[in-house]
Amino acid sequence: LVLAFLKKLAIFRENVEEMARARLGEKLAAFVPNKDSELLEQVLRLMTNLSFHPKCRAHLCRAGMSAKLLALLRKGNHRHLAVRLLYQLSKNDAERGKMTQSVPMLVGTVINTPDPTLIPP
């Protein structure tokens, strides 16, 4: 319930700035991966909202979220959320450099997966 509320709050810039000051992105990274599928989905959705703010995106990158998201892609869990968040994290130059080794796997995942949510209409 708290994560759903934070996700809604994360739409407004002033709230996101407070969340950035609290380093919420780094704290949320501890929940990825998670055996509780619903909890993991809520965390990834909140992280996606936060990732539009440069400071929050930097916190997520520092917390090693790229590697964690790539591992989620390999497992097949929450692929659509992982791809969205990876795209947002790739806006950081340093993070993009870390992802270059995984480009073949990313492309293969998007091309070979039957999940229509990975490819926008």
Selection from 66, 68, 69, 73 nearest residue 110 by Cα: 73
pLDDT band at 78 (very low <50, low <70, confident <90, very high): confident
Q: What is the mean pLDDT of residues 62-91?
A: 87
Q: How does residue 50 score in pLDDT terms, banded at 50, 70 and 90?
A: very high
* Nearest residue to 56 via CA among 17, 106, 111: 17
pLDDT of 121: 46
Instruction: Name the CA radius of gyration of the chain, rounded.
Output: 14
CB-based contact 34:81 (threshold 8 Å): no
Q: Specify the range with the lowest mean pLDDT, choosing from 1-5, 42-46, 63-67, 114-118.
A: 114-118
- pLDDT at position 98, please? 74
Q: Cβ(42)–Cβ(3) under 8 Å?
A: yes
Q: Tell whether the model's pLDDT for residue 31 goes beyond 80.
A: yes
Which one, of 24, 71, 77, 22, lies nearest residue 46 by Cα? 24
32 dihedral zone (left: phi>0; alpha: psi -120 to 50; beta): beta
Concatenate the DSSP letters of all residues of 16-36 into one string: HHHHHHTTHHHHHGGGSS-S-
